[in-house]
Amino acid sequence: MFDESVPLYKHVDVVVIGGGTAGFAAAIAAAKLNKQVLIIEDHAYLGGTATAGMVCQFLGFNKGETTESQVGILDDLLKRLTAYHATSGVQTIYLSGIKEMGVGAATYNPDALKLILDEMVTAAGVEVLFHTRMITAITEDEKIKSVIIHNLSGIQRVEADVFIDASFHGSLAVAAGCDYKLGDDDGVLQPGTMMYRSDHVDAAEYHDVPRSEKKQLANQGVAAGALNVGNLLSRSLPDGTFYTNMSRVKVDPLDQEAYSQAEITGRKQISLISQYFKQSVPGFENAIVTDTADQLGLRDSRRIVGLYTLTNQDVLTSQTFPDTVASSDYPIDVHDANGLSSVLKKPAGGQFHIPFRCLQTKIANLVLAGRCLSTEYEAHACARVMATCMRLGEAAGIAAADSINIGIPVNQYDGQRIKTFIQ
Ligand SMILES: Cc1cc2nc3c(=O)[nH]c(=O)nc-3n(C[C@H](O)[C@H](O)[C@H](O)COP(=O)(O)OP(=O)(O)OC[C@H]3O[C@@H](n4cnc5c(N)ncnc54)[C@H](O)[C@@H]3O)c2cc1C
């Protein structure tokens, strides 16, 4: 449909589609290796689900990791958030209140994150086109020649030596001809969530409510049709506001009518949840909703079929790989389709590992970054969290730049080289 008669916007060394936690890290990593890098981003800011979805808490750290023990881009980011007093730093939380499910988590203020990501890409010399959507790709002989973008300047083309798909939906990979999987064996996807923040919460009063009472309040709220989750999932942020992760909306993101309706349902659920909290949850009597996420957060979308697919078994048996680029003790965490609870499974060895080959595909000059990586369904449910996405993004950016330097197609690049670049 599109060909090279479409006006050329520019040629860069590396173009990154999507500036979420994976995409911004990929861009910075490639720029640090002296490549000219362009991010194409639909929103008006970076961060993706971390900012637009208002997730507010980095997960995906590894056993024993602290704020101070980080390396690479995640280290830089946490230091900057700390300087802005905008993160709790890495602390242990217990998923579903289960002692064995303790994991490292770092809350952050999403507005501070937007500002810091701007600062980080600017410092690295990365160019960003906001308000711009990649709509398809021109591909020949399993190599991408250019991507087609659309913004208020019209429809244009971007050429690059290496293309990074950090779009979460794997939209570039699919446009280039990669296969994908969606959902579990029955096509069922995890529910989405519309996040919101509240102010004027009496934090001390809320924290003093015993766990058993919180559980009872949650169950009462579910029975009353006000809540969608059997736990009170509201946490304080460094700026004193509380963010709440309690709406649950079933949605197939590839069905645009359903996806649009889901945004409306998410906001409606927030109205019911926040009213219930005000009426029934100690500490929230005077709470006001200050903001809702710009978009329904989606836990699931396409998983691209890559050169290696991380299996559920790999995760559960803590399989190691020579080209591991991210390791984490975050368990498989599948939110059931009805939203009420999560299935949690820890790897036998306490942690799981992701090889670089999950980011490589049959397309010579394409590398995946973030949660569109090649995994089975349950394996995805532990790989998708943000510290892991940043590590995958950093690996993708290094591979993109280094593969250009050594003259090897990025889909033949040896991922064992990546760790030597990360400090
Ligand atoms: C409700 C919910 C709760 C979660 N809770 C946590 C949590 O507590 N902790 C945690 O660590 N993780 C959590 N996660 C998971 C985590 O937030 C995401 O998996 C992670 O942010 C994904 O990062 P990403 O960069 O791969 O994708 P995204 O953050 O989704 O970024 C993709 C980017 O690409 C852009 N884009 C997409 N298509 C195009 C296009 N065609 N053209 C231009 N731009 C495009 C998007 O605008 C977006 O900015 C949660 C997710 C959800 C939905």
Q: Which of the four CATH numbers 3.50.50.60, 3.40.50.920, 3.50.50.100, 1.10.579.10 does domain 8-187+300-421 have?
A: 3.50.50.60
- Partners of 333 in beta bridges: 344
- Ligand 1 atom closest to the CA of 135, numbered from 1: 41
Q: Of 185, 31, 40, 48, which is closest to residue 122 (Cα–Cα)?
A: 31
Tens-digit pLDDT profile for residues 10-26: 999 999 999 999 999 99
Query: Average pLDDT in the 308-331 region?
Result: 97
Q: CA 417, 316, 372 angle in degrees (round to 5)?
A: 55
pLDDT for res 75 = 97
pLDDT for res 339 = 63
List CB contacts of 323: < 8 A, sequence separation 6 or more: 355, 356, 357, 414, 415, 416, 418
- Ligand 1 atom closest to the CA of 40, numbered from 1: 43
* Percent of the chain topping pLDDT 90: 94
Question: In degrees rounded to 5, what are phi and psi of residue 115?
Answer: -65, -45
Q: And the tokens for 124?
A: 């690295």
The Cα-based distances of 146 to 24, 44, 399 in angstroms read 20, 23, 19
The pLDDT mean for the chain works out to 96
Find the Cα–Cα–Cα–Cα dihedral 109, 112, 117, 122, rounded to 10°.
-170
Taking the C-alpha atoms of residue 161 and residue 143, their distance in angstroms, rounded to an integer, is 10
Tens-digit pLDDT profile for residues 36-70: 999 999 999 999 999 999 999 999 999 899 999 99
The Cα-based distances of 171 to 19, 137, 325, 333 in angstroms read 14, 9, 23, 24
Q: CA 285, 288, 291 angle in degrees (round to 5)?
A: 150
Per-residue confidence band for 336, with pLDDT thresholds at 50, 70 and 90: confident
Distance 161 CA to ligand 1 centre (A): 25
Residue 253 Cβ contacting ligand 1 at under 6 Å:
no
Residue 419 per-residue DSSP state: G
Residue 218 Cβ contacting ligand 1 at under 6 Å:
no
Residue nearest to atom 35 of ligand 1 (CA): 18
Residue 50 Cβ contacting ligand 1 at under 6 Å:
yes
- Ligand 1 atom closest to the CA of 298, numbered from 1: 53
Question: In degrees rounded to 5, what are phi and psi of residue 415?
Answer: -65, -15
Alpha helix segments (H runs only) across 33-158: 72-83, 110-124
Taking the C-alpha atoms of residue 7 and residue 16, their distance in angstroms, rounded to an integer, is 19
pLDDT at 156 over 70: yes
Residue 394 Cβ contacting ligand 1 at under 6 Å:
no
Taking the C-alpha atoms of residue 14 and residue 342, their distance in angstroms, rounded to an integer, is 38
pLDDT at 28 over 70: yes
- Residue in this structure with the two tokens 């449909």, named with its chain if needed: 1
- The sign of the CA dihedral 92, 96, 98, 101 is negative
- Partners of 147 in beta bridges: 137, 158
Tens-digit pLDDT profile for residues 69-90: 999 999 999 999 999 999 999 9
Residue 266 Cβ contacting ligand 1 at under 6 Å:
no
Contact call for residues 358 and 343 (beta carbons, < 8 A): no
Residue 299 Cβ contacting ligand 1 at under 6 Å:
yes
pLDDT at 340 over 80: no
Tens-digit pLDDT profile for residues 365-391: 999 999 999 999 999 999 999 999 999
Distance 342 CA to ligand 1 centre (A): 19
Tens-digit pLDDT profile for residues 206-238: 999 999 999 999 999 999 999 999 999 999 999
Residue 386 Cβ contacting ligand 1 at under 6 Å:
yes
**The total number of residues written for the chain in this structure:** 423
Query: Ligand 1: which of 158, 386, 388, 390 to mutate, judged by most atoms within 8 Å of the beta carbon?
Result: 386
**For 89-103, 158-172, 287-301, which range has the lowest pLDDT when averaged over its residues?**
89-103
Question: In degrees rounded to 5, what are phi and psi of residue 79?
Answer: -65, -40
Taking the C-alpha atoms of residue 179 and residue 215, their distance in angstroms, rounded to an integer, is 42
Alpha helix segments (H runs only) across 14-109: 21-32, 72-83
Per-residue confidence band for 96, with pLDDT thresholds at 50, 70 and 90: confident
* Percent of the chain topping pLDDT 70: 99
- Ligand 1 atom closest to the CA of 132, numbered from 1: 43
- Ligand 1 atom closest to the CA of 369, numbered from 1: 26
Residue 40 Cβ contacting ligand 1 at under 6 Å:
yes
Tens-digit pLDDT profile for residues 240-266: 999 999 999 999 999 999 999 999 999
Contact call for residues 99 and 93 (beta carbons, < 8 A): no
pLDDT at 423 over 90: no
333 vs 308 pLDDT, higher one: 308
Contact call for residues 43 and 17 (beta carbons, < 8 A): no
Residue nearest to atom 16 of ligand 1 (CA): 385
- Residue in this structure with the two tokens 């290094």, named with its chain if needed: 398
Q: CA 31, 32, 36 angle in degrees (round to 5)?
A: 25
